[in-house]
Structure 1
Amino acid sequence: MDNVSAVRIFTLSGINETVNYRIAIFSLTLLYYGVILFVNIALIAIIAFNENLHEPMYILLASFCINGLYGSTGFYPKFLLDLLSSSQEISYEACLLQAYVMYSFACCDLSILSVMAYDRYLAICRPLHYHSFMTKRRLSLLVCFSWLMPFSVFSVSILLTSTKKLCGSNIQKLYCVNWLIVKLVCPDNDTLSNSVVSYTTICLYVLHGFFIMWTYMHLIKTCARSKEDRLKFMQTCVPHLISLLMFMFVMLFDLMYMRFGSSTLPLSLQNFMAIIFVLIPPVMNPLIYGFKLTKIRHRILGLIYKKIFAHC
């Protein structure tokens, strides 16, 4: 038990300096969180209650939106409470839980994007074998894989962190991150196991990225052959590609800033950079797919027209 941390409370940094704008920031954040909940729940409901959308691509999209809700809920409620509090503190257990949620949310996104890429590869490059490959059973296994693997990997990472003794309690971020907690570990504690798990996780998700690149090389090669395939690529693959590029930009930006960012930047800019990956994807992904995928767009427009005529 000597290795168990005596630190029970962490202090988060970055909110006290915005004391003059807290009410405005709270109002805008609450509104934004409401938008995230609305667009993701609306898209999930449209897919769930429309039998025509019970296809692999749309089921994976619903999983994507559920992950957006999961990650957003890991950040926004605590951030809103902090804006109303005089001190930004979080318990040791809650900090580990938040770090787990934020990391697993990000990696679930990449896992789901990988499964989506595989689905599009089968649909466009192997259309005659699509239904024999993408059965309900295989789809269920792929969805479980996209969720369980990040959860399992980061369970190990967080469990390892929880065994370390900490010599500090100040986290230089608006929310808890495992890497920043590990930086607080006392010098006499060995963090080699944490490093091994971290680098293994990085390699694992780099392989996800290479797999997606491989599928898109085949997709582009196949779609260049005919106008029909090019149209299918534009309708179903472009939203996925936009989500992928947005994810890569946001995550690389956040990781590079967390490790190499300058502390001389204005605090408001530092805070924005700290939360960019829970600002953009949870809203943009459902909007991109909602307006780009024809069946969903028609369903949304149909519901709007029905509401308009119901009031006329």
Structure 2
Amino acid sequence: MVNATQVSFFTLSAYFDTGVFKYLYFIIIVSLYIVIICANLLLIVVICMNRSLHEPMYLFLVSLFVNELYGSTGLFPFLLVQILSDIHTVSAPFCFLQIYCVFAYAAIQFHNLSILSYDRYLAICYPLQYNTRMTSNKVSVLIALIWLFPFLAIAVLISLSVPLQLCGNIINTIYCDNYSIVKLACSDTRVNNIYGLIYTCLIVFGPLSLILYTYMKILKVCFSGSKQTRQKAVRTCTPHLASLINFSFGCLFQILQSRFDMSSVPMMLRNILSLYFLTCQPIFNPLMYGLQMSKIRSLCKSIIFGKTLTDA
């Protein structure tokens, strides 16, 4: 039995020898990281510098884009070091820090998406009362909750994992994962499993329930409303739905991979899919919202082509 205090590092066994191709992978990852930073920063700047975009929906989008920068930074620099390294190890403190960053990113993303759906629900179902229901104070409180609640929930999750007595230090992933560490435990993990279930309900099923409820109400209004109402709903909800489906797919595979035997799936494919929600989502969202929303699209063009931004 190995005590948790004696485990100074973890070995990430999902990496394999890529030979000279590691430099190609390094360039690909660097390029993705640069695209993510530039795309998300561009939209954050566009929204923050234009008073015409200082509306609740766009402020929630800023929160979404900031979280994508945060989540990417919690993964990409680490991934780049591991790609070039011949020994794929990570210190125990840094491993738990990465778990905190990655899990917090996923939790904040789900909460952001649920609040965006709630905002669209109010805008479509209560258009005349929207400004009184979604006040600036309410927006501030919701954004604070989006960030504070996941950080606190993850802190409890990590605090339960750190003291576990471990029988090994080999993790079959390319980045640190909490459940992979829990599976190494020799000590009783019932508390971890119970809290893990509560955590999943709070972080995943809670936001998804709110999203399902709001879209049921939106559909009801669309079926009974005018053509203009339906067009508004489609125009504003399409990016959100596409983002939700894309993110949920990535998270679902990551959950399945961490809890079930996926040895029949090629290692390369497993690695790519495990990175999906951390790489594709931060690229997908700026493109989807930037292309679908005319206000953002026109203002992005003005920045890219050197025109002066106006406080329209």
Q: TM-score category by the smaller chain?
A: over 0.9
Deviation >3 Å, runs of 4+: 304-308
The corresponding residue for 1:240 is 240
- The whole-number CA distance in structure 2 between the counterparts of 1:45 and 1:117 is 23
* Contact 2:29 2:80 survives alignment (8 Å): yes
Determine helix, strand or coil for the equivalent of 1:90: strand
The corresponding residue for 1:88 is 88
- The whole-number CA distance in structure 2 between the counterparts of 1:185 and 1:138 is 43
The corresponding residue for 2:189 is 191
The corresponding residue for 1:284 is 284
* Contact 2:42 2:300 survives alignment (8 Å): no
Alignment map for 1:50-61 (pairs within 5 Å) = 50-61=50-61
Alignment map for 1:137-148 (pairs within 5 Å) = 137-148=137-148
- The whole-number CA distance in structure 2 between the counterparts of 1:233 and 1:90 is 47
Unmatched runs of 5 consecutive residues or more in structure 2 = none
Determine helix, strand or coil for the equivalent of 1:149: helix
Deviation digits for residues 54-100 of structure 1 (CA, Å, limit 9, x no counterpart): 11000000100011111111111001011121211111000001011
Alignment map for 1:163-174 (pairs within 5 Å) = 163-174=163-174
Determine helix, strand or coil for the equivalent of 1:19: coil
- Residue 294 of structure 1: how far off its partner (Å): 1.5
- Residue 3 of structure 1: how far off its partner (Å): 6.3
Q: 2:235 matched to 1:210?
A: no
The corresponding residue for 1:227 is 227
TM-score w.r.t. structure 1 length? 0.94
TM-score w.r.t. structure 2 length? 0.94
Q: % of aligned pairs identical?
A: 40
Q: 2:97 matched to 1:97?
A: yes
- Residue 242 of structure 1: how far off its partner (Å): 0.7
The corresponding residue for 2:46 is 46
* Contact 1:6 1:166 survives alignment (8 Å): no
With 12-21 and 74-83 compared, the bigger mean Cα shift is at 12-21
Q: 2:113 matched to 1:113?
A: yes
- The whole-number CA distance in structure 2 between the counterparts of 1:228 and 1:302 is 29
Deviation digits for residues 74-133 of structure 1 (CA, Å, limit 9, x no counterpart): 111001011121211111000001011111111111101111111111111011211111
- Residue 4 of structure 1: how far off its partner (Å): 4.6
Determine helix, strand or coil for the equivalent of 2:6: coil
- The whole-number CA distance in structure 2 between the counterparts of 1:3 and 1:168 is 9
- Residue 166 of structure 1: how far off its partner (Å): 1.5
- The whole-number CA distance in structure 2 between the counterparts of 1:196 and 1:20 is 45
- The whole-number CA distance in structure 1 between the counterparts of 2:70 and 2:262 is 30
* Contact 1:116 1:240 survives alignment (8 Å): yes
Number of residue pairs aligned between Structure 1 and Structure 2? 305
Question: What is the RMSD computed on CA atoms of the aligned residues?
Answer: 1.6
- Residue 228 of structure 1: how far off its partner (Å): 1.3
Determine helix, strand or coil for the equivalent of 1:57: helix
The corresponding residue for 2:178 is 178
- Residue 178 of structure 1: how far off its partner (Å): 0.5
The corresponding residue for 1:77 is 77
